[in-house]
Structure 1
Amino acid sequence: MFKIVIREGREMALTEMAVRNAKARENGGNYSLSDGDGLMLLVKKSGAKSWVLRYWLDGKEKRAGLGPYPLIGLADARKLKNAFKHELAMGVNPQEKKRAEREEAARVEAIKAMTFARVAEEWYQQQAGAWSASHCTDVRHKLRVYILPRLGECPVREISTQAVLSLLQAIEQRTPESAYKSKLIVGQVLRFAIARGDAEIDVTMNLKGALKPRRVRHFGALTAPKDVADLMTRIASYNGSPIVRAALWFSLYTFQRPGEIRKAEWKEMDFGATLWRISETRMKNRRAHIVPLARQVIDILKALEPLSGDSRFVFPAITSKSTPMSENTVRVALRSMGYTNEQMTAHGFRTTASTNLNEQGWNSDLIELSLAHVEGNSVRAAYNRAERLPERREMMQAWADWLDGLRGFSSRAEAVPCASEKQESF
């Protein structure tokens, strides 16, 4: 408990007239008139007057402003003095109390200003550099169309479980998959806010099981060897664009992501080292990737050079060599070959390879590396990229040879059209 003293002087109490008539001194200095009991009228050189209470706290002189005159008259100033003294007697320092109230008011205003929309924008700007263009577009769309109209103006610290659940249920009525993705985005924004001290809890953690079970989408893929052999027969018989036909072969032999294949550039192909070097800017996981190229793939590329070698892209669009092949081109080709979306997709080539390579007993780490799946341990990932290329090269060649063996190719010339073949029959 602090010790409070309001020193009573021998000064005579002020009168209303004395207060009203108090003027600035000719010498221009500030002075004060005492009302006794620590209450003083401070007269400044400008002529402005205000009330000040002089008191001692733990042996140290303190002063508290009680307000300006004439807004606060003499009688009101005395009441304020008595109220101040009462709070001191109760163990409350009115000045500290007022300061705490100001700080609390500022804190509340800061909370109101730190809206979900503001935090979401800062989170997006921090994360977007590591995302693909398509993912950036998707996140922006979910925020703009679904999330921000409902949560944008809410202080991020005050986002409630019920508010998020109501949002997600509304989205779920329209597009269940968007509800699931929106929940992920809201959770990531809230965890970003927690890390910065702008929020205390990720309420999406309370929503496990609150939405309808998500229907897991599986990419159609052919995995049985006899079905893979039939796929190769259909590719060989495909009578559409020769560049599309080459893209189908390339997808089967390299089993990289469809987007990485259709945007492949000639400058990425190292014929001397028989490697395809994909920069981190083109990879889904934003990590540079190296693909060993089997002899069959080199033959495909050499056969393609007369057709697309003057383009930046290995597989340019049918309508313009200045742009890459459309994301729907391979899908349409597969449909024309008689496959439904449930049977085979552009992404399905990856499943075809992964399933059969695992069944053939290849090391699962090699398979995952070849699929460019992210390695959680950064040290191990660096080791794998640097040291396992010879093993991966062996596996990729074995995969290509196994595929050729399914159809009984006696030579690569049977599997890959020669450069002199007309485009229509590539």
Structure 2
Amino acid sequence: MEALLGTVTLLVLISIGLPVALSLALSGAVGLYLLGGSQLILGILGSASLGAIQNYEFVSIPMFILMANFIICSGVSDDMFNVAKTWMGRTPGGLAHATAITGAAFGAISGSSTAAAATLSATSIPGMLKQGYSPKLATGVAAISGTLAMLIPPSVAMILYALLANMNVGKMLIAGVIPGLLITLTIMATVAYLVWRDPDHAPLGQSYSWREKFVSLRSSWTFIVLFMMVTGVIYIGIATPTEASAFGAFGAFLLAILRRTPMEKLQHALVVTARATCMISFIILGALIFGYFLTITQATQNLVQFLVGSGLPAWTIMVMVLFVYLVLGCFMDLVAMLILTVPVVHPLMVQLGYDPLWFAVVTIVMGEVGMVTPPLGMNVFVISKYTKIPASDVFKGSYPHVVAHLIAVAVLVVFPQIILWLPATMQ
């Protein structure tokens, strides 16, 4: 009864617009008070604040966010887009394809989806609109390409999932590499289909010679260096994800200095990183309080036992869980969604016999869909804010990519080795 009351309280608080962190903390505190009075709640509140961020691997989250902000202020993302634009040339929808490639490249040296969306808004959308691209096509591909930072390492979302599920962070990050490439190809295939169906959506772009294409690669060294400083050292086993995040942040800082980035922009990067880190820490704190409440009531264990013993096939339960993620993604930020669901879903998937690493990656891909679906769709609102294009148009432009992503999820479900092969080769 207490577990039901606490859960209902949480849903009510979220539905009236209270921040997720406060909703989790208040509903958990109310439940703990009902279970053990003020003494229990004060004891847990006293220890939860430290427990929220004392995990050593948590350090990688602010480091990767800082790395992303240094990359943005240094202008590296502009170089990446120019390289992709040059190589795509007069390919139908070439700038849209370049946007997808830039989103993947930015994701490979950053861990922030919203930062990627904001960057693509400034680098790719103006060029597409100037060339005569349909606003829906331009904004839709930018919104969905920004979500690649959630899947391709380093990814803050995947680090958070690993911490919540007590999984190996390094293997979690590397597991996103091949699916990330698959999703990038999915985005490009969707663009190709949309342009084939209506060529007026994307006029042919400028043609470049082979010499110009190879000359453009000179500016790609920054991406290669940063990628090797993070994902490369994790895969080879030279450094842990936490150490790699420090390497990446420091490398991005040196790059910003070499490119003579103004001090005001560097200071802004620090402030933005501090705000994002505090937000995530506060959500984790609220989740810990609510998690203590669920643990004491044994709500999680009872739910897992009920579903496992329900007689339903394992694949049916798995599909139902994925559908819940699709619905939650429409109303909730990915970080909040993971914190709220992973403590319940992870043990359920283990009980059903599914590989937790495989399911974690599938969950993150479903989270990508949530970033571009109404009514929340955070990346959509980021794009709308920077481009002044109505969010409704961005949502319409994102819709074909949502359908394509669901097809990609089906492929990952049917062929789990797409996810599991590369982590199995790690040292």
Please indicate the TM-score interval, normalised by the length of the shorter structure: under 0.3
For normalisation by structure 1, the TM-score amounts to: 0.24
Larger Rg: 1
Determine which structure has the larger strand proportion and give its number. Answer: 1
For normalisation by structure 2, the TM-score amounts to: 0.24
